[in-house]
Chains A and B, each alone.
Chain A
Amino acid sequence: MKHIDVQQQPVLSFGRTFKIALRGVQYRLFRALVTVAVIAVAMAFLMNILSESLFKRVVAVAVRDEIRAMRQADHWIARLSVPQTAEEIVAVLAAAEPDSETFREMAVFGGLDETALPSAAALAVKAQAYLKFFDDINYGRRRVLIGNATGVEIFERLQNEAAQTRFFESLTLMRAVRFVTTPDAFREFLRAWPGLSGTLTAVRAGQQRAIGNIQQAQEGRTVMEALSGAEGPFGEAVRQAGFVLDPGEAVSLAKQIRLAEHRHFIEDSINNPEVRKAVAARKDVLPGDVSLDMIWKLLGRPATAAWYEGQLAQHASPPPGLDAARLHEVARTRARSKLMVRAELMTMGTGGGFMNIGPRMTWLAFVSMLVCTVGIANAMLMSVTERFREIATLKCLGALDGFIMTVFLIEAAILGLVGGLAGTLIGLVLGLGRMLAVFQSLLIELFPGGLLLQAAGISIVTGIALAAVAAAYPSMRAARLAPMEAMRIE
């Protein structure tokens, strides 16, 4: 019969473990706050990067379409004035989807049939790759390889037997240069080149002819003037000539063109001495100091826009439809397109990487996390080691190893949660502030609430996980020691 029968110790409930952990945190509030601060700074940094990148990302997506619409007018004016260059056609052919409108347009201009087009496109893809190679290598090497030829000229020049031999010889000497394909593949391409070249010439000729046909429909107006009626007969003429101009696109194109016309008229009105005098008097400056900005600012408010309309009616002859409301609208659109251009500049290089924040930002976030992990690990390590005595005492009283670990993990989770919340908030506010300054109204319009919540979640969870991982190792070590061994460690 045994006096002492050894049994398993019961596991303490989570609730009681949590209470004990919480008491420990309260007792060491100052140290806990320091740890929280470290975590908060780390998470603020992460959240700042994430939120700014997310803002940029949504703005970039929105801006891309609006910018394209804005540039639609320039694009069409250019297309209807001169044929595309051979390089442009190569690029279009290489990028076009089979069966797309652009593809068919090319077929019409080049007089190509169904079978010839895909092979031309396949060749164009190769040509595009070779052209990129020649664009990328440095000037000296390029000079040695193909002399002063540029663009498709290169392929023309290499049709010459001697030039080709020299090219391949020089290429083999340049060990550091990696050519796109094997020399044989390039040779084969060069043999096929005259075919593609012929196609390009045919397409250009076709475009030239089409432009000539449209000129009759212009009725003596400039391309731009004519395009302001793009939704009407002129658009029909453009389509007839072989260009693919979608009716919906024609409507927005016409709107863009009219907007540009009105904008030009307004910008021109500054040269009208009477208008200038009136603005100078109103603004209390010399007529010579009146700037376009002043006028745009006047048009920015409906009341002053109405005043300006009066001046225009009196001293200039505004085109029909350019009333006060329209003046104001043009000014607003101009402000917005300025914002768009700025947004486009600011959002270059986004996309890809973690949460689409771009590879650079992903790397930055990763490195910052690494640094913070060290900081948090240090803070947690200190907080565990200075409590070895307490751990030892608890073990003397019958605490299980698991209990000790749970206490520290709970403590770490509490600190991680508080630090993560605080840091996320700080990072979000900073990011929001900075991005609001850049994108202004655009940001509020596009506010990516869901994505931000997701990012906040990631930050907070990261904070908790980092703290818990950092606490796990030292507390496990301490928990496994015999009580008195733990007590001896200082």
Chain B
Amino acid sequence: MRDADEKGAPHPPSSDFGEARAAALLIDMQNVVTEKPEALDGAGKRVIIRTIGMKKVYRKKDQVTQALRGVDVEIYTGEFISVMGPSGSGKSTFFNMIGALDSPSEGRVFIDEVDVAQLTAEELAFLRCRKIGYIFQSYNLIQYMTALENVTTPMAFGGVPDDEARKRGMEILGQVGLRDRWFHRPIEMSGGQQQRVAIARSLANQPAILLCDEPTANLDHHTGQEILDILQKLNKERGVTIICATHDHRMMNVCDRLMWIRDGSIERIARRDEVHVELAGID
């Protein structure tokens, strides 16, 4: 497998990471997301994710943790929403539920009006592979695969031929500034580099929904900003719905709505302009 990859290797490391690459990535997306983002405040808002009374209880022997205590939320197509909340408030749990990675203890999750609980194993796999991109808080890279293989694995599952997958994988790695690191294993990379591989992997199949659990947590200010630029462009120009857990205050500048979770419940959901008014008021 390594031998085959080497053919795609000798690209020079690119230094101009940012605008240009974000634009390149968006061109890739053209085939997939055909619909333009809609106005959020108009009457034509379409719900892409809806939860009804969603609860999650973790049970371990006699120890019971209420991670989510009944969450009702609607997320609209093409929206960029930031999820904020203190550590342990249930953000990751919320992500797992709306990403069809775990089943709620109670309540229901609809992704584009389809009840996730009704899907077969194959349909769930399709959904996770093509329609949703995940960036995990703990990256969850496959340890025995190179950066490139990590990125191309979802493409393989999606039926993309090897050669094309490698080509696209290299492009996406280039966009996160890791083109010259494609042959490294996760263990040979820094935390930030691993995080960028995880981001690249989430974009592999040009998903319609992107779930990002602290995508900028381990990145320096500059790189973090570039990741935010990529996310914003994906959202604005291609209408990818982005749900982003974060403690990063810069996120406020790019998101449409903000959502606060505390103790497993939604404390507040507000539009960015409302929040800005408040912040201005405080200032």
Measuring CB to CB, which residues of chain A are less than 8 angstroms from any residue of chain B? Answer: 2-4, 6-10, 12, 16, 19-20, 23-24, 26-28, 389-390, 392-401, 403, 480, 482-485, 487
Cα–Cα distance between A7 and B131 once the two chains are bound (Å): 11
| A397 with B201: CB separation less than 8 A | yes
Please report the number of residue pairs spanning A and B whose Cβ atoms sit closer than 8 angstroms.
Answer: 104
Question: Residue on B with the closest CB to A481?
Answer: B102
Report chain A residues within 8 Å CB of B112.
Answer: 2-4
| B142 with A16: CB separation less than 8 A | no
Cα–Cα distance between A36 and B112 once the two chains are bound (Å): 48
Report chain A residues within 8 Å CB of B123.
Answer: 6-9
Q: Which of B144-177 contact A (CB under 8 A)?
A: 144-145, 149, 153-154, 156-159, 162
Question: Residue on B with the closest CB to A23?
Answer: B144
Cα–Cα distance between A27 and B149 once the two chains are bound (Å): 14
Give, as a whole number of angstroms, the nearest-CB distance from A140 to chain B. 66
Tell yes or no: B48 within 8 A of A by CB: yes
Residues of B within 8 Å of A, CB-based: how many? 44
> Given contacts A3-B48, A6-B119, A7-B126, is CB(A399)–CB(B157) below 8 Å?
yes
Cα–Cα distance between A395 and B126 once the two chains are bound (Å): 10
Report chain B residues within 8 Å CB of A483.
Answer: 101-102, 128
Cα–Cα distance between A207 and B57 once the two chains are bound (Å): 98
| B131 with A395: CB separation less than 8 A | no
| B201 with A9: CB separation less than 8 A | no
Instruction: List 6 tightest A-B contacts by C-beta distance, closest first.
Output: A398-B129, A27-B144, A484-B102, A10-B159, A398-B157, A4-B112
Cα–Cα distance between A27 and B144 once the two chains are bound (Å): 6
| B125 with A399: CB separation less than 8 A | yes
| B35 with A3: CB separation less than 8 A | yes
Give, as a whole number of angstroms, the nearest-CB distance from A19 to chain B. 5
Give, as a whole number of angstroms, the nearest-CB distance from A254 to chain B. 75
Tell yes or no: B143 within 8 A of A by CB: yes
Cα–Cα distance between A401 and B77 once the two chains are bound (Å): 30
Cα–Cα distance between A399 and B121 once the two chains are bound (Å): 10
Tell yes or no: B23 within 8 A of A by CB: no
> Given contacts A393-B142, A398-B154, is CB(A6)–CB(B126) below 8 Å?
yes
Question: Residue on B with the closest CB to A485?
Answer: B102
Show 12 residue pairs from A and B whose CB-CB distance is below 8 angstroms, ordered by the A residue: A9-B123, A10-B157, A26-B144, A389-B140, A393-B142, A398-B158, A399-B125, A399-B157, A400-B122, A483-B102, A485-B102, A487-B140
Cα–Cα distance between A286 and B156 once the two chains are bound (Å): 88
Report chain B residues within 8 Å CB of A392.
Answer: 140
Tell yes or no: B114 within 8 A of A by CB: yes
Tell yes or no: B223 within 8 A of A by CB: no
| B162 with A16: CB separation less than 8 A | yes
> Given contacts A8-B122, A23-B1, A23-B145, is CB(A397)–CB(B111) below 8 Å?
no
| A484 with B101: CB separation less than 8 A | yes
Cα–Cα distance between A27 and B154 once the two chains are bound (Å): 20
Give, as a whole number of angstroms, the nearest-CB distance from A32 to chain B. 12
Tell yes or no: B233 within 8 A of A by CB: no
Report chain B residues within 8 Å CB of A396.
Answer: 99, 101, 128, 134, 136, 140
Tell me what chain A mostly uses at the interface: helix, strand, loop, or mixed. Answer: helix
Report chain A residues within 8 Å CB of B149.
Answer: 23
| B208 with A9: CB separation less than 8 A | no
Question: Residue on A with the closest CB to B153?
Answer: A397
Tell yes or no: B9 within 8 A of A by CB: no
Report chain B residues within 8 Å CB of A20.
Answer: 153
| B153 with A10: CB separation less than 8 A | no
| B125 with A398: CB separation less than 8 A | yes
Cα–Cα distance between A19 and B208 once the two chains are bound (Å): 30
Cα–Cα distance between A26 and B154 once the two chains are bound (Å): 21
Cα–Cα distance between A26 and B185 once the two chains are bound (Å): 13
> Given contacts A3-B35, A4-B114, A485-B102, is CB(A9)–CB(B125) below 8 Å?
yes
Tell yes or no: B257 within 8 A of A by CB: no
Binary CB contact string for chain B from 114 to 140 against chain A (1 if under 8 A, 0 otherwise): 100001011101111111001010001
| B122 with A9: CB separation less than 8 A | yes
Interface centre among B35, B123, B140, B157, by most chain A C-beta atoms within 10 angstroms, is B157
Tell yes or no: B96 within 8 A of A by CB: yes
Report chain B residues within 8 Å CB of A394.
Answer: 142, 153
Binary CB contact string for chain B from 191 to 211 against chain A (1 if under 8 A, 0 otherwise): 000000000010001001000
Q: Which of B214-265 contact A (CB under 8 A)?
A: none
Give, as a whole number of angstroms, the nearest-CB distance from A257 to chain B. 76
Beyond the given pairs A9-B126, A398-B125, 14 more chain A to chain B contacts, judged by CB atoms under 8 angstroms and listed by A's residue number, are: A2-B113, A4-B48, A4-B114, A6-B127, A9-B122, A12-B157, A393-B141, A393-B142, A395-B125, A398-B129, A398-B154, A400-B157, A482-B102, A482-B103
Report chain A residues within 8 Å CB of B101.
Answer: 396, 482-484
> Given contacts A389-B140, A396-B134, is CB(A4)–CB(B127) below 8 Å?
yes
Give, as a whole number of angstroms, the nearest-CB distance from A356 to chain B. 46
| A400 with B121: CB separation less than 8 A | yes
Tell yes or no: B271 within 8 A of A by CB: no
Binary CB contact string for chain B from 89 to 113 against chain A (1 if under 8 A, 0 otherwise): 0000000100101110000000111
Tell yes or no: B45 within 8 A of A by CB: no
Cα–Cα distance between A175 and B129 once the two chains are bound (Å): 77
Give, as a whole number of angstroms, the nearest-CB distance from A413 to chain B. 18
> Given contacts A9-B125, A394-B142, is CB(A4)–CB(B201) below 8 Å?
no
